[in-house]
Structure 1
Amino acid sequence: MIQDGQTPNLLTFDIEGFIEASHDSLDVPGDYVSSHRQQEEIEVNTRAILELLAAAEQRATFFVLGRIARDLPALVRQIVGAGHELACHSLQHRRLYHFTAGEVRSFLSEAKHVLEDVSGQRVQGFRAPDFSITKTNAWTFDILRDLGFTYDSSVYPTSLHDAYGIGDFPRAPFRMVNGLVEFPMSTVRILGANVPFGGGGYLRVYPLALTRWLCRHANRAGVPVIVYFHPSEMGRIVLPIRELGPVRRFRTYAGMAGAGDKLRVLLRSFHFIRMVDYLDRYPVQELAA
């Protein structure tokens, strides 16, 4: 925790296609739309993010799928050229707990190498698709360390979601006993439960005033807020999934139209830095063995 001065917050983007990100959560096949349409969605929406960040003079960390670096190398180089940090979001957008340790090691190694080859930069950070490091596959942390990652940001310290979360996980950045630094996703303690906020559906659905209050509440305690955002939430191109029932449709599309405007306000309201810069400038708590 930071005791003095302005608490920096961490702005992150998970660069993935809307359809491929829906594979595990909504059982949407990868060929639901053409590959050309998926690539267009990623490029148009990500470039809109880059334009917004340039206008706000803010820098961020971009967690990019390895397959996107392979298929859209110019976009990855544009991200790096704008001064943003490139980090890894796995090879494909598949939940890690569906795979063996050997499979995870293989495709995380491949993703890291592809990202580094395309960008010419060392990749230090990782975020699992759908925050899919849980107690069942905590061995992933040692794989990340072995592959040369410096930090991870894959865990939501909550028990309130049906697909992810570790309820008794620390809520502020800390160093694990294996040396890997963990940036837990942002939560607020309410009635004995850790309630998520700061990105994705939480950012889209929560009133903007509530999100800003939660950010200030965390900052007053010296805890950085992790904001995360997806290209589809910029709203330039949002691909429709027609077969969804009402509950799934709400979880997938609610608040999508206003998400970009909320991000603009947060960029004006708070100070953000890249995750790698936080590691360079601020101490993190050491987790006792």
Structure 2
Amino acid sequence: MQNALTVDVEDWYQTSDFDFPLQTWDRFEDRVDANTRKLLDLFDGFGVKGTFFVLGCVAKKHPGLVTEIVSRGHELASHGGWHQMLTRMTLAEIRSDLTWSKALLEDLSGQAVTAFRAPSWSVSHQNLEVLALLEELGFRVDSSLQPFRTPLSGMKGVPHHPFHPVVGGRRLNLVEFPSCVARLFGTAFPFSGGLYLRILPVGIITAMLRRVNRERAGMVYVHPWEVDVQQPRITRSPVIRLTHYYHLRTTERKLQRLLAQFQFGRLQDVVAGQDVPDVELAGSGGTQVAFR
């Protein structure tokens, strides 16, 4: 079973953990280029290809990184322009952000960019119209929904498998690949990316991914700053220190274990091999008509 290997290409200071205003970003040390190349080398060492969701602002500052990702055979995808939560933006602002960042990535790479992931998984029942906008702008795969709630985002009850969203009675020409969870005691259990990857023992992570692979393809996601133990340390609340800094030293080792034990590939290739049903989604205050 092939699983999707994905990277959200953003720098340490651009995350929703710190939520620094955009006008302050030039004050912080830029580390995304070296850390992304570290992941590229790691993937090369295991002979695997993945999907890199690149911020437009990162691509503008590091155009050579974009061409390097493509030259090594990975899928180039969009992470939006400036890592702003879509739930805090108007649809017109989202359209402008996506149009600019998609065009920039395509100009730099010379190829179509057809996959998207919202910053911090910020598509939910509050803004499902974003999915129709993605279709309109030429995206064919989205990975912005997570089937559980967090303080930032999420949509409880989302299917655990890839599906075609049906929004407002219309089936979108778009495949949604939600974040990977295992079902335990009727509950969606996240384990394969971000803080969940760092905080859980590798034995539990591999057991959960094997459990998922008995039924469907899974997905791993990671950020370049999560393999950077030397990144600047910012004084923040204990919760933020936990979510951003906890067990950074374990990320690369856990990725190595996963890459050695499981098959991985680009998101577009994994989606192509899936049976993708239609699933109707309801808007704000509603529930799904169909789910796994």
TM-score (norm 1): 0.91
Q: 1:230 aligns with which of 219, 223, 230?
A: 223
User: Take 1:269 and 1:253, find their aligned partners in 2: how far apart are those partners?
Assistant: 26
Kept in 2: contact 1:187–1:197 (CA 8 A):
yes
> 1:33: Cα distance to partner?
6.5
Match of 1:69, SS state, is helix
> 1:239: Cα distance to partner?
2.4
Matches within 5 A, 1:220-259: 220-221=214-215, 223-235=216-228, 237-241=230-234, 243-259=235-251
Q: 2:32 aligns with which of 42, 49, 56?
A: 42
Kept in 2: contact 1:44–1:237 (CA 8 A):
no
Counterpart residue identity of residue 151, structure 2: D
Partner of 2:114: 124
Q: 1:192 aligns with which of 186, 192, 196?
A: 186
CA deviation map 1:4-35 (0-9, x unaligned): xxx2100000000110114xx33434466646
The gaps in structure 2 that reach 5 residues or longer are: 166-170, 281-288
Partner of 2:277: 285
Q: 2:65 aligns with which of 75, 79, 99?
A: 75
Residue 11 (1) aligns with residue 5 (2): yes
Query: In 2 relative to 1, CA 237–31 (structure 1 residues): closer, same or farther, beyond 3 Å?
Result: farther
Q: 2:140 aligns with which of 150, 154, 170?
A: 150
Residue 208 (1) aligns with residue 197 (2): no
Kept in 2: contact 1:59–1:274 (CA 8 A):
yes
Matches within 5 A, 1:58-97: 58-97=48-87
User: Take 2:269 and 2:187, find their aligned partners in 1: how far apart are those partners?
Assistant: 30
Kept in 2: contact 1:235–1:260 (CA 8 A):
no
Q: 1:273 aligns with which of 265, 272, 279?
A: 265
Partner of 1:3: none
> 1:281: Cα distance to partner?
3.4
CA deviation map 1:220-251 (0-9, x unaligned): 12x1111000001112642211x212222112
> 1:166: Cα distance to partner?
0.6
> 1:188: Cα distance to partner?
1.7
Kept in 2: contact 1:126–1:151 (CA 8 A):
yes
User: Take 1:178 and 1:69, find their aligned partners in 2: how far apart are those partners?
Assistant: 28
Q: Structure 1 segments of 4 or more deviating over 6 A?
A: none
User: Take 1:15 and 1:65, find their aligned partners in 2: how far apart are those partners?
Assistant: 6
> 1:37: Cα distance to partner?
2.1
TM-score (norm 2): 0.90
Partner of 1:106: 96
Kept in 1: contact 2:140–2:174 (CA 8 A):
yes
User: Take 1:250 and 1:17, find their aligned partners in 2: how far apart are those partners?
Assistant: 17
Counterpart residue identity of residue 239, structure 1: P
The alignment yields a C-alpha RMSD, in angstroms, of: 1.6
User: Take 2:25 and 2:98, find their aligned partners in 1: how far apart are those partners?
Assistant: 26
> 1:264: Cα distance to partner?
0.8
> 1:284: Cα distance to partner?
1.8
Partner of 2:46: 56
Identical-pair percentage: 37
Counterpart residue identity of residue 220, structure 1: R
Kept in 2: contact 1:19–1:32 (CA 8 A):
no
> 1:190: Cα distance to partner?
2.4
> 1:36: Cα distance to partner?
7.1
Match of 2:12, SS state, is coil
Query: In 2 relative to 1, CA 122–237 (structure 1 residues): closer, same or farther, beyond 3 Å?
Result: farther
